[in-house]
């Protein structure tokens, strides 16, 4: 059963999604930097699927690993910094 906080967050997310749909927010209307980052992340995931490898990890995946290890300063680190700090690269 969802808590009151989870229910509130879900409602907020639904409202944001509806507002985005009304404004016709699509990938093509995102800033170029965001589109590039999404493309790179998708390419990394596709490369991993093709090779069957667990590398290269995306920044989001490395961030989750850093979070589990309680790595200080992880939110300000980029993908390469996270990989170095975690000893992944």
Tell me if 61 is assigned to some domain. yes
Residue 48 lies in domain: 28-89
Tell me if 38 is assigned to some domain. yes
Tell me if 68 is assigned to some domain. yes
Q: Examine the pLDDT at 68 and tell me if it is beyond 60.
A: yes
The residue with greater pLDDT, 1 or 17, is: 17
Tell me if 14 is assigned to some domain. no
Provide the whole-model pTM: 0.46
Q: Percent of the chain at pLDDT above 90?
A: 11
Tell me if 35 is assigned to some domain. yes
Tell me if 17 is assigned to some domain. no
**% helix / strand / coil in the chain, to the nearest 5?**
70, 0, 30
- Summarised one tens digit per residue, pLDDT across range 4-37 is 888 888 888 888 888 877 777 677 777 888 888 8
Domain count, the chain: 1
Tell me if 52 is assigned to some domain. yes
Average pLDDT of the segment spanning 46-62: 78
Q: Which residues contact 56 (CB under 8 A, 6 or more apart)?
A: 44, 47, 48, 89
Tell me if 48 is assigned to some domain. yes
């Amino acid at each position: 059963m969802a808590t009151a906080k989870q229910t509130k967050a879900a409602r907020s997310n639904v409202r944001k999604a509806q507002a985005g749909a009304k404004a016709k927010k699509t990938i093509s209307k995102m800033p170029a930097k965001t589109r590039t980052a999404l493309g790179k992340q998708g390419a990394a995931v596709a490369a991993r699927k093709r090779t069957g490898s667990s590398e290269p990890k995306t920044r989001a995946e490395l961030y989750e690993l850093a979070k589990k290890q309680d790595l200080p300063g992880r939110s300000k680190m980029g993908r390469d910094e996270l990989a170095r700090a975690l000893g992944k690269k």
